[in-house]
Amino acid sequence: MFMQYELPFEVDALEPVIDRETVKVHHGKHHVTYTMTFNTLAEKAGMQDRDVTEILKDLDSVDDEQLRTGLRNNGGGFFNHNLYFEMLTPGGKALPGGKLADRINEDLGGFYKMKEDMTLMALGQFGSGWAWLSVTHEGRLVISKTLNQDNDYSLKTGNVPIFTIDVWEHAYYLKYKNLRADYVNAIWDIVDWEAVEKRFLSVVKDYS
- Alpha-helical runs (H) found in the chain: 20-25, 31-44, 52-57, 65-86, 98-108, 111-123, 173-176, 180-187, 193-204
Listed ranges 49-57, 99-107, 124-132, 165-173: which one lies at the site for Mn ion (CB under 5 A): 165-173
Q: Which residue of the chain is nearest Mn ion when measured via CB?
A: 166
CA angle (179, 33, 5) in 5-degree steps: 85
Listed ranges 52-60, 141-149, 160-168, 180-188: which one lies at the site for Mn ion (CB under 5 A): 160-168
CA 65 to CA 55: how far, in whole Å? 15
CA 4 to CA 33: how far, in whole Å? 10
- Verify binding: residue 168, Mn ion, rule CB under 5 A: yes
Footprint of Mn ion on 171-190 (CB under 5 A): 171
Minimal distance in Å, beta carbon 171 to Mn ion?
5
At a CB cut-off of 8 Å and minimum separation 6, what does 156 contact? 57
Count interface residues toward Mn ion (CB under 5 A).
3
Listed ranges 68-76, 117-125, 129-137, 170-178: which one lies at the site for Mn ion (CB under 5 A): 170-178
Residue 92 carries which side chain, given as an amino acid letter? Answer: G
- Verify binding: residue 166, Mn ion, rule CB under 5 A: yes
**For residue 166, what is the enclosing H or E element?**
strand 160-166
Minimal distance in Å, beta carbon 139 to Mn ion?
29
Minimal distance in Å, beta carbon 183 to Mn ion?
12
Listed ranges 61-69, 100-108, 137-145, 161-169: which one lies at the site for Mn ion (CB under 5 A): 161-169
Q: Are 20 and 12 spatial neighbours (Cβ–Cβ below 8 Å)?
A: yes
Binding interface with Mn ion (CB under 5 A): 166, 168, 171
